[in-house]
Structure 1
């Protein structure tokens, strides 16, 4: 099922799960919902500025948030809601960066679970002064879509992430630092390296021998370390599960090398 403009909507019970963590921002001056959809989040704050490229309510302004040009003159700004994710979460990251550029003091977004990973909490996305203060795991089928006007439950593995800028409270910072993951059985080598024994496809997770692949750009190349059996390692790699790292609609994903290492450690080292 093809979803137009990333239009999948948040269920009311899921909004209620997120609401408690938003009420701490009641004293803020400006509330922005950048992709308001059908308005699921609009009843939390009475004076929310709501935008969407395809608004479903009259109080939602027709506006591409990424093209928005506003100056809030040092007011305290909360940007919140369920932004579109896009392929490999590229749109979600654009919404985060745009929120920061508009002067947001807090960002509270429904995001794919890959944003729990250190690679998606870097200073490049959230500068150093940002603290991750809350992550609320969302239930299965937290969303719905319309297919020919029919309401259909929809699942993407997601959580509700709450970030604050320059927070001086005693709230713990849940932000992760990038951890070096050491694997003794294999190493990653350069693309098309003659040393490679196996490849892992970044889209499917399928493990193959280098001579079997047709598109090297979609592959991670692996060299098996001495004293480890090639066929055994190939079988073990094929048994890894990557769905928890899904980053785009419908559970499709791109697997990076750290995620392969994490999946290996979780399955075989713990």
Structure 2
């Protein structure tokens, strides 16, 4: 697929998708969680870590001290805390260019997580980020480095991906929209597909607008999508629909929990959760075939079992994510509501988080089987801080069955309890004798962060991919060999993920902390 810089005025040969269908597709695909992660509030800490912003932050600290002495000026109320003031200053004064760069980098990471979560077989599919394809149908035909590509080694079909927060904001966004969505498809569209992944919802669309043409052509040809629809487009293009790929089931999968795993979960649950059989209520919102039904019936007189696709007589049909607790009389009890179960996981645990968030709006305790990644601080920091983790237990990896076949999934059973006090967030560690740098910057070693060889350290880095390695530059003045030996001595527990083995920067820093400073 040869892509030129010359823009072509599109002769719209096909009839364009109706406006109503476009709005329906946007409503169905738009992901609030993605936009939340790209919001000023979520990125403030990242911006605040940049040197230019840190200097401004200190300046505003001094200003704030002056204002405290001159409260009568009315610049700020007494109630606004110092930290709140500084955070507001960070959001207001971070340079627009830096905000855009951080937002774009964060969106790239979100898309990267979604693609990895599809879990295409590694022996058949090549997945690369920020690199040109050198083999397959698209080899040598891209004049712009894509954000990602996927190549099927058997058929040489290749999907090229570009990530844009939006495609109508001007500059590069508009150029990519023109180039990849408003130009006619190339003749080899069946073997090579360019896909633009976006995050933002357009403020307005009318049938004469540029935005309408972008969505009409993109949606109609599966060349434009939000993060929610990316997996479908990937599987459809590579003819993988309907196959059990990855470890994160869809809500329609016949994904059952074995009785032995349920018994262990209930045993731990009864040790930590006190249930009043008459005044409390227990609920299983993803009951499916009813694995938790019998043990919960024994515990409480008031109970509710629901599922989007029930497969047990005691389970009622309901979509928990649109569920209204007030509509169910059984939940209006004088005591507490306890939610227990095994929810679907979704990409990077997004459905598990959605189930947790929903349950925590009305329950006193929430006890779920979750991806083992929920043992990580980064996942737990996303949980409502009024809830505290009171117990966590690893489950055997063969605790589940899909279509009567054992399915290995690294999972954990966690019990969260509502309290009046807020849970403290995890304190991040900082590197003491090295820096994380880009591959193109001077560096000393590459550290494998994902895959079967995660934790390996390499002095030869030319062939190491930035998508699967950290690149480190030592700063402690010791020899390369001494630092290399120290890095090689680290020991990691690879059980805290549901998908491929992975080591976060914080896990690397904690491992180094265990062996002491250099």
Report the TM range for the smaller structure's normalisation.
Answer: 0.7 to 0.9
What whole-Å deviation, never above 9, does each CA across 1:206-245 have from its counterpart, x for those lacking one? 656664345x455534222243444665574597545222
1:181 and 2:426 aligned:
no
Asked if the contact 1:203–1:253 (Cα under 8 Å) also holds between the matched residues in 2, the reply is: yes
Greater share of strand residues, 1 or 2? 1
Query: TM (normalized to structure 2)?
Result: 0.42
Q: Distance in 2 between matches of 1:162 and 1:89?
A: 17
Q: Distance in 2 between matches of 1:91 and 1:237?
A: 36
- Deviation of residue 43 (structure 1)? 1.5
- Deviation of residue 94 (structure 1)? 1.5
Alignment match of 1:17 (pick from 241, 264, 269) = 264
Alignment of 1:96-175 (within 5 A): 96-101=356-361, 103-122=362-381, 124-127=382-385, 129-138=386-395, 140-146=396-402, 149-152=403-406, 154-166=407-419
Residue 244 of structure 1 is matched in structure 2 by: 495
Which protein has greater RCO, CA pairs closer than 8 Å, 6+ apart? Answer: 1
SS of match in other structure, 1:120? helix
Q: Distance in 2 between matches of 1:164 and 1:107?
A: 7
Q: Distance in 2 between matches of 1:32 and 1:64?
A: 13
Residue 341 of structure 2 is matched in structure 1 by: 81
Q: Distance in 2 between matches of 1:155 and 1:73?
A: 38
Query: TM (normalized to structure 1)?
Result: 0.74
What whole-Å deviation, never above 9, does each CA across 1:126-161 have from its counterpart, x for those lacking one? 22x3222222343x2351223xx4432x33333321
Asked if the contact 2:494–2:502 (Cα under 8 Å) also holds between the matched residues in 1, the reply is: no
- Deviation of residue 60 (structure 1)? 1.9
- Deviation of residue 257 (structure 1)? 0.8
- Deviation of residue 108 (structure 1)? 0.7
SS of match in other structure, 1:243? coil
SS of match in other structure, 1:5? coil
RMSD: 3.5
Residue 16 of structure 2 is matched in structure 1 by: none
Moved more, 71-80 or 233-242: 233-242
- Deviation of residue 38 (structure 1)? 1.9
Greater share of helix residues, 1 or 2? 2
Please, which runs of 5 or more residues in structure 1 have no aligned partner?
A: none
Matched positions, count: 252
Q: Distance in 2 between matches of 1:220 and 1:35?
A: 38
Residue 5 of structure 1 is matched in structure 2 by: 250
SS of match in other structure, 1:94? helix
1:55 and 2:302 aligned:
no
1:258 and 2:513 aligned:
no
Q: Distance in 2 between matches of 1:201 and 1:61?
A: 47
| Distance of aligned partners of 1:252 and 1:217 in 2 relative to their CA distance in 1, 3 Å threshold | closer
Q: Distance in 1 between matches of 2:358 and 2:346?
A: 15
- Deviation of residue 107 (structure 1)? 0.4
Moved more, 30-39 or 223-232: 223-232
Alignment of 1:27-38 (within 5 A): 27=277, 29-38=280-289
Residue 227 of structure 1 is matched in structure 2 by: 477
Q: Distance in 1 between matches of 2:256 and 2:275?
A: 23
Asked if the contact 2:258–2:401 (Cα under 8 Å) also holds between the matched residues in 1, the reply is: no
Q: Distance in 2 between matches of 1:178 and 1:5?
A: 31
